[in-house]
Amino acid sequence: MMKLFSAGVSLALLPAIVCADPLPSWEGESETQIIDFVQSVTDPKSEDYVIPSDRIAVFDNDGTLWGEQPVYFQLIYAVDQVAKMAESDPSILTSDALKAAAEGDYEALMATGKEGLIEVLKITHSGMTVESFQASVAEWLASATHPKTDLPYNKMTYQPMVELLRYLRDEGFKTYIVSGGGIHFMRVFTQEAYGIPTEQVIGTYTETEYHVTDGVPQIVKAPAIGFVDDKEGKPINIERIIGKRPIIAGGNSDGDFAMLEWSTAGEGPRLGILVHHTDAEREWAYDREGHVGVLNRGLDEAAERGWVLVDMANDWSRIFTGSK
Amino acid sequence: MMKLFSAGVSLALLPAIVCADPLPSWEGESETQIIDFVQSVTDPKSEDYVIPSDRIAVFDNDGTLWGEQPVYFQLIYAVDQVAKMAESDPSILTSDALKAAAEGDYEALMATGKEGLIEVLKITHSGMTVESFQASVAEWLASATHPKTDLPYNKMTYQPMVELLRYLRDEGFKTYIVSGGGIHFMRVFTQEAYGIPTEQVIGTYTETEYHVTDGVPQIVKAPAIGFVDDKEGKPINIERIIGKRPIIAGGNSDGDFAMLEWSTAGEGPRLGILVHHTDAEREWAYDREGHVGVLNRGLDEAAERGWVLVDMANDWSRIFTGSK
């Protein structure tokens, strides 16, 4: 509709629209594979044509649309937040995990294991309304910067992926995030960073409660995890919320495998995309080992499944939106 | 966008578009209140103007967008389905509830209580892929007819509400269903009946499981209830899935009260709509008592809360889309 309208008001611009490179920060085979696919499903004369309402594209967030090193950015928010909370009330530091977080000591925090991390997440992600949680995240995004790049975290989105999202929407796709990250956290920045509205952000969530106090209804974040949007949880959540099988799915780790597997197993043309972190200089190089973004099965099976394996070092001329 | 495009291709049509009654089956005060509200939030010069991305409208389904008497239509599907399943395998009739269902004896079924109903729902709503469940619902919709009206169930949608949904979309709203009914059941007919795509259908759901058999991934409906989208569950689910507070909410029972309460308590202009079943002749007359669509608190508080109380007998010149 956007294109039709543009054409309606100014036909003179049409050749420019058609000829411009829709993915200026992409290079090589990955770019060609993606553009060929999109053209084949959007050309009404193509036998692979897909009607606009079925053009669903889903993308993981951490490591796919923005960085995820040295740890998930949402964890950095939580750790920073514990320090901030402890400033006004040191009595909250009732455990080794919380003390480590308050000191920004990630090594000591990791040493407390999964339970320690859950403690840090619970104290920073529950017991407040969704609005006040999101105000806190917005404040953090406006001031915090990444230890390696010195960029605000919401400028560490991948420029090539931002271009891909925009290109897909221009071609009639509905673009979704399907992430292990929290919905309330992500929704603070997804519209501005990616052009993705809150209702197209699927992710992990805490349980929430509906309270009416003095006639004012509020939705409050509770400590219990409601749904973990990772691995098999991704196709389950997509089916539950979108109710259609995507024709494009993109990720970067084995946590995205089931999402790509299910999406690309549907009938008709399908595109799977795996972002491979190969650029130690401009970003980070990692795959088979580590505590985030582990990619084994995807790396082993991408070729036989026909998935596009994006080599960040060679296929992207630019990495972060925040740095040229 | 639709309007802009229409205007772009044929300005001559504009006066006709502007003058046509957008709600031809509505009459009286309800129609005026709705149109006044929509005009005030869509007129860029109005102080109540709302940007298109915040124009979220949510509607209950049973009793709001289509009929719900003598019992929820989804229960009729389940009962019919038990009979069908028993034809090929009578050994499934292991309880009084299932035997009653197979005989279409609703009185005997109701006498088995909540447990009996759950048994009937479980056997008909789990243990199969989502696709095969939906194929079965589609088959039922294509053949079953309502005992009183003799209409197919998907022709028992309310014509005035179908007009309202279309009018809202024409005015830049995103229209959602938020129903106690099942998502997989509703999604079979919502696009055709209401113009509402699967991703805008929120409701109750069973848990689902992701299975890969011989390399083929499938999503299978499990017996456990995952979420009951009723009462407080409605605002919780809306916040979780849409992530925005609707500016219009419509329902017909106290199961919708929290949804209307939360939606209309937001800042700025808000519209609550309650469909009041007052038409014993063309439909059914019921409110404060019964086993479906009980409306007490809504009826008591609609006026003070400024919600539109739709008097079906007087405010709707037509009821079902399937009957003139």
State yes or no: pLDDT of B19 exceeds 80.
no
Quote the pLDDT of residue B18: 56
Closest to A322 (Cα-Cα) out of A153, A147, A185, A188: A153
CA B155, CA B318: separation in Å to the nearest integer?
Answer: 13
Chain A contact residues (CB < 8 Å to B): 1-2, 4-5, 8-9, 53, 56, 130, 174, 183, 187, 197-199, 201, 205, 208-210, 212, 216-217, 219, 226, 232, 235-236, 239-244, 258, 261-262, 265
Nearest to B199 among A5, A236, A244 (CB): A244
State yes or no: pLDDT of B281 exceeds 70.
yes
Contact between A241 and B244 using a beta-carbon 8 Å cutoff: no
Nearest CA in chain B to A237: B208
Q: How many CA atoms lie within 13 A of B34 on its CB side?
A: 30
Q: How many CA atoms lie within 13 A of A275 on its CB side?
A: 30
Instruction: Report yes or no: B321 and B157 within 8 Å, Cβ to Cβ.
Output: yes
Smallest CA–CA distance, residue A242 to chain B, in Å, is 4
What stretches in chain A show pLDDT beneath 50? 1-12, 15-16
According to DSSP, residue B105 is labeled -
A225-234 contacts at long range (C-beta below 8 A, 24 or more positions apart): A226/B240, A228/A180, A228/A204, A229/A178, A229/A179, A229/A180, A229/A202, A229/A203, A229/A204, A229/A205, A230/A180, A230/A204, A230/A255, A231/A255, A231/A257, A231/A258, A232/A258, A232/B209, A232/B210, A234/A60, A234/A178, A234/A258, A234/A259
Contacts of B209 in chain A (CB under 8 A): 232, 236
Quote the pLDDT of residue A3: 42
For residue B65, name the pLDDT band (cuts at 50, 70, 90). very high
Contacts of A212 in chain B (CB under 8 A): 261
According to DSSP, residue B157 is labeled B
Mutation target for B interface from A131, A196, A210, A297: give the one with most B CBs within 10 A: A210
Smallest CA–CA distance, residue B167 to chain A, in Å, is 19
State yes or no: pLDDT of B4 exceeds 70.
no
Contact between B242 and A198 using a beta-carbon 8 Å cutoff: yes
Nearest CA in chain A to B190: A243
Which residues, in sequence order, are bridge partners of residue B129? Answer: B220
Nearest to A9 among B8, B56, B226 (CB): B8
Mean pLDDT over each residue of chain B, to the nearest integer: 94
Contact between B217 and A174 using a beta-carbon 8 Å cutoff: no
Q: What is the percent of chain B where pLDDT is above 90?
A: 93
- What's the CATH class of domain B22-68+151-315? alpha beta
Smallest CA–CA distance, residue B5 to chain A, in Å, is 6
Mutation target for A interface from B54, B129, B241: give the one with most A CBs within 10 A: B241
CA angle centred on B112, ends B111 and B114, rounded to 5°: 110
Contacts of B216 in chain A (CB under 8 A): 265
Nearest CA in chain A to B174: A199
Nearest CA in chain B to A129: B239
CATH fold of the domain at A18-69+151-315: Rossmann fold (3.40.50)
Q: CB B141: neighbour CB atoms within 10 A?
A: 19
In the numeric block, which tokens belong to residue B158?
């309310």
CA distances in angstroms from A1 to A175, A317, B30, B147, B189, listed in the order given: 16, 31, 33, 43, 25
Beta-sheet pairing, B271-278 with B285-286:
antiparallel
pLDDT digits (tens, 9 = 90+) for B125-172: 999 999 999 999 999 999 999 999 999 999 999 999 999 999 999 999
State yes or no: pLDDT of B271 exceeds 60.
yes
Nearest to B239 among A174, A208, A236 (CB): A208
Nearest to B262 among A217, A239, A261 (CB): A217
Quote the pLDDT of residue B291: 87
Contact between A53 and B197 using a beta-carbon 8 Å cutoff: yes
- Separation of CA A35 from chain center: 21
Contact between A5 and B4 using a beta-carbon 8 Å cutoff: yes
According to DSSP, residue A46 is labeled S
In which residue ranges of chain B is CATH 3.40.50.1000 found? Answer: 22-68+151-315
Nearest CA in chain B to A222: B236
Q: Which 3 state secondary structure label does DSSP give A226?
A: strand
Contact between A199 and B240 using a beta-carbon 8 Å cutoff: no
State yes or no: pLDDT of B205 exceeds 60.
yes
According to DSSP, residue B198 is labeled G
Mutation target for A interface from B174, B221, B227, B239: give the one with most A CBs within 10 A: B239
| Amino acid in the structure at residue A281 | E
Smallest CA–CA distance, residue A243 to chain B, in Å, is 5
pLDDT digits (tens, 9 = 90+) for A99-125: 999 999 999 999 999 999 999 999 999
In which residue ranges of chain A is CATH 3.40.50.1000 found? Answer: 18-69+151-315
Contacts of B239 in chain A (CB under 8 A): 130, 208, 219
Q: How many CB pairs under 8 A join A and B?
A: 92
CA B115, CA A31: separation in Å to the nearest integer?
Answer: 56
Question: Where is A77: in which H helix or E strand?
Answer: helix A73-88
Going A226 to A231 to A234 to A240, the CA torsion angle's sign is negative
Contacts of A242 in chain B (CB under 8 A): 198-199
